[in-house]
Amino acid sequence: MHEHCGESGAIGAAQESLRLWRNGQQTTFIGLDAVRKIEYRTTRNEATRCYFCKNNCLRTFIDVRTEPAKDLVPIERVTKVPLMRGEQRLIIATCEKGTVEDLDEMKDIKAGLDHIREQHPNFVDIASKEVFRPTNSESVSDPIPKRAWTKSDKRRIALMQNRGKVRIGIPRVLNIYTYAPLFNAYLESLGVQPENIVYSDYTSSELYRAGANRGAIDPCFPAKIGISHVYNLIQEKHRKKPLDVIFFPMYDVLHSPLVKITGANACPTVTATPETVKAAFTKENDVFAENHLKYINPVLNFSNRKLFAYQMLQAWQPILGLSPEENHRAVESGFAALHEYETSIRKRARQVLDQLEREDR
């Protein structure tokens, strides 16, 4: 960064303006004398409220008059705020649709936005939906033993037979937006039904407010919202159809495509969030126990697959009756699904980048 970044930026802008002028581009600036004569008035009240969507945002109308007025064309339109002859209206709104008053003009803007969206897909929005889809992974489960010689054998058989019925709630927050395909494939390949892997609702102001009264004081909103997501699982998902487990892993070391790095550790606040959430729901009374829920939050290292497999085995063996062998196979299925998902997103993003490069945009 330049040591005088403000001045250097201004000089650069001036040089670019000079280059454009030398290439024949004319200025649209009205001049300093005309600027001194600018008059304007602002309006911000119920008359400026936008009703093009359910948000009903309040807008600011700025009506500007410049001299000489003879160069301005009177604007004739239906408006709740009268527009004086010789004035031009600027509308400060929270989105593009609110920058106009006429319904037909808004429809034209929306059509243009839809066209842009089709031509330039928002991969953040796409990924936030695709990442939670079932993976349809093939089963890697051990065959259910026909005989049980010990109590532990009987217990394992019962857990294996129950895999198709067990319902697992997962907060839709933090790094689950990266690792959902891994967990989905892991659980599906062990016999958990895709419809029984239940994610909390997407973050919204309503979701946050509903569970925020248990609030923990955390340095960032993404960590704080974890409490509300677990509350959503208990009060919304569990009430509609009972869950058996809430799975909120502690992300310690992440996987990374980068090489020759000293580490890929997650933010310490993110790592500790599941413990913070656990404390919020068990300090005064154990809400999980009251709702007959098991809360599991293992520490996970995604960069060391052998260690990750051990951590997942310790977490899920008491619930699914796993053997180390089938747990290993399920972990491999999970990482394969994660790789397939990431490759798919990157391939489509690469196609868009290549298109932009070809079109010199």
Say if CB 339 and CB 346 are below 8 A apart. no
Say if CB 186 and CB 197 are below 8 A apart. no
Q: Are residues 337 and 220 in the same domain?
A: yes
For residue 59, the number of C-alpha atoms closer than 13 Å in the C-beta half-sphere is 26
Q: Are residues 263 and 343 in the same domain?
A: yes
Q: Are residues 144 and 279 in the same domain?
A: yes
CB neighbour class for 307 (10 Å; exposed up to 12, middle 13-18, buried from 19): middle
Q: Are residues 100 and 176 in the same domain?
A: no
Q: Are residues 194 and 279 in the same domain?
A: yes
Q: Is 292 a domain residue?
A: yes
Q: Is 1 a domain residue?
A: no
Q: Are residues 156 and 251 in the same domain?
A: yes
**List of the chain residues with pLDDT < 50:** 71-72
Structural domains of the chain, count: 2
DSSP string, 304-342: -HHHHHHHHHHHHHHHH---HHHHHHHHHHHHHHHHHHH
Residue type at 101 in one-letter notation: E
Q: Are residues 96 and 134 in the same domain?
A: no
Q: Is 135 a domain residue?
A: yes
Q: Pick from 75, 106, 137: which residue ends a domain? A: 106
Q: Is 22 a domain residue?
A: no
Say if CB 197 and CB 184 are below 8 A apart. yes
Q: Are residues 59 and 183 in the same domain?
A: no
pLDDT score at 235: 95
Q: Are residues 73 and 190 in the same domain?
A: no
Q: Is 295 a domain residue?
A: yes
Domain that holds residue 43: 34-106
Q: Are residues 134 and 259 in the same domain?
A: yes
Q: Is 221 a domain residue?
A: yes
In tens, the pLDDT along 202-212 reads: 999 899 999 88
Q: Is 74 a domain residue?
A: yes
Q: Pick from 58, 76, 106: which residue ends a domain? A: 106
Q: Is 118 a domain residue?
A: no
Q: Are residues 176 and 282 in the same domain?
A: yes
pLDDT score at 72: 47
State the Cα–Cα distance between residues 132 and 270, nearest whole angstrom. 20
Structure-token pair, residue 237:
């998902």
Q: Are residues 96 and 145 in the same domain?
A: no
Angle between helices 151-161 and 305-320 (to 10 degrees): 90
Q: Pick from 106, 138, 153: which residue ends a domain? A: 106
